[in-house]
Amino acid sequence: MIKLEKGRISQSDVMWYVFSSIFATAILFVPATTVLHAHQDAWLSILWALIFGVLVSYIAITLGKRFPNKTVVEYSTDITGFFLGKIIGLIYVLYFFYVAFFVQHEFLELIVVTLLPTTPGVIIIAVLTMITCYMLYSGLEVIVRTNRVVLYVSLFFAILIILLSLPLVKTDNFFPMLEHGLAPSLRGAWTPAAWFSESAIVLMLIPFVNKTKGLIKTNINALLLLTFFLSLSIITSVGILGVELTKISHFPIYSVVHRIEYPLESFFLVLWIATMVTKLATFFYAGTLGLGQWLQLKDYRPLILPMAVILTALSLLSWNDIAELKEFTATVFPPSIIFVNFILTLFLLAVAGIRKKRQQSNDPKTKEDQF
C-alpha cells in the first residue's frame, strides 16, 4: 500500500488550491459557453453555479471527514464492499485522468490560437507535460506551494485587467435583463456548475490537511472568490464584446485583453500557462496517486511517465480542433464530471450514512445508552 506523504498542507493552502484548480481553465472557457445559453444574463448563471458548487463541496468534505486518513479511492471499498468499491475507485481514477488530458488539450488550443499556430501539437503538450511530471515527482506539498505563488501573481494581473477594462464596458449590452425570465440563466449555469463541482478534488486532499475542522467553510470561501472573478470576467466580456461576439469568441477574456490600450497579451499568456500547469499537476497527481492506491503499489511515482505518455496520446486524439473542443465543453464535459463529483460522491455518502446507522443499531452499547 502507498504510504501518504509526510508533507502536510494548511486549510489556506486548500482554499487557494481548490480555487486555482477551477479558475485556471474556467476563466478561459466558461464565459463563451455560458453566454451561449444565458445571453446577457450569464452573470446570473454563475450565482446558480455557486449554489451547486457549495452543495458538492459540502457532500465531498462530509464524506472525506468520515475517513480522514484515506482518499476516496481507498475508502470506496470500506463503504460498498471490495468488488463495487474497486469499480467506484477506478471511476474516480479515470475521472482524474480524464480532466487531466482535457486540460492538456485546452492548453494546446490556447497556445495554437494565440501564440504558435504552426507548432506541432505534440511538442506543445510534451513541454507542458514534462514540467508537470517534474512537479509530480516532487510531491503534493511542492505542487501546492508552487500553485500559491503562481496564483498570487495571476490574481494581481486579473485584477489589473478588470480595472483597465471596466471603462470600456457598455452597460447597454446587459439589457433587457431577464427578458425571457430565469430559464436562460438556469440553462447557462450547466457549464459553470460542472467547473464548480471540481471542488470535489478535496476527496484526494483531506488526508494531507493538517486540520479538517472548518474545511467546508474554507472550500466555500474558494468558491465565493471564484464566483467573484468569473462574474467579472463575464461582465467584462459581454460588456465590451457584446453577447454575439462573446458567443463565437474562442477565448473571450483574451479578446478583452487584446482591446485594452496597454499591450498585456504576453503577460496574460505567460501567467495563464503557469496556472494551467498547476491545474494539470492537480488532476494528474490525483490520478496517479489514486491508481497507485487502486493497484496497491508502494509508490505512485513509477506510474508518472507511462501515464504521461498515455494522457498525451489521448489529448491529441480526442479532438481535432478548438471547435470540437468547445462543443464538447458545452455538451459532454458537464454531465460527465457532474456524475462523478456529485452523483457518485452523494451515493458514497448516503451508503456510508446507512451503514453507520445500522452499526449503531446493532451495537449493544448504543442500545443501552438509549435507555
- Cα separation of 190 and 370, whole Å? 46
Return the HEC string of 268-326.
HHHHHHHHHHHHHHHHHHHHHHHHHHHCCCCCCHHHHHHHHHHHHHHHHHHCCCHHHHH
Segment 34-47 mean pLDDT: 94
> Model confidence at 6, in pLDDT bands (50, 70, 90)?
low
Q: Considering only CA atoms, which of 188, 335, 195 is closest in space to residue 279?
A: 195
Q: Which residues contact 103 (CB under 8 A, 6 or more apart)?
A: 24, 25, 276, 279, 280, 283
Closest CA to 254 of 233, 226, 285: 233
Place of cell 486548500: 14
State the pLDDT at residue 161.
Answer: 87
How many whole angstroms separate alpha carbon 79 and alpha carbon 76?
5
Low-confidence winner among 36-50, 134-148, 182-196 (lowest mean pLDDT):
134-148
Percent of the chain with pLDDT over 70: 96
CATH 1.20.1740.10 matches 11-361:
yes
Q: Tell me: the pLDDT tens digits for 104-151?
A: 999 999 999 888 899 999 999 999 999 999 999 998 888 998 888 888
Neighbour tally for 243: CB within 10 Å:
17
* Grid coordinates belonging to 104: 492538456
pTM of the complete model: 0.93
Is 202 in contact with 215 (CB distance < 8 Å)? yes
**Residue ranges per domain, the chain?**
11-361
Q: What is the pLDDT of residue 273?
A: 87
Distance CA 59, CA 208 (A): 19
Cα 223 to chain centroid distance, Å, stands at 11
Cβ-defined contacts of 173-177 (< 8 Å, 24+) = 173/40, 173/238, 173/239, 173/242, 173/243, 174/40, 174/43, 174/235, 174/238, 174/239, 175/40, 176/40, 177/40, 177/41
Q: Tell me the per-residue pLDDT of 60-70, one tens digit each, with 9 for 90 and over.
A: 999 999 999 99
Average pLDDT over residues 320-343: 93
* CA separation for the pair 77, 74 (Å, rounded): 7
Q: If DSSP codes are grouped into helix, strand and coil, which group holds residue 128?
A: helix
Q: Which of 71-80, 127-136, 157-166 has the lowest mean pLDDT?
A: 157-166
C-alpha cell at 353: 450514512
pLDDT for the residue 7: 57
- Measure the CA–CA gap between 123 and 104, rounded to whole angstroms: 12
The verdict on whether omega for the bond into residue 176 sits within 30 degrees of 0, i.e. cis, is yes
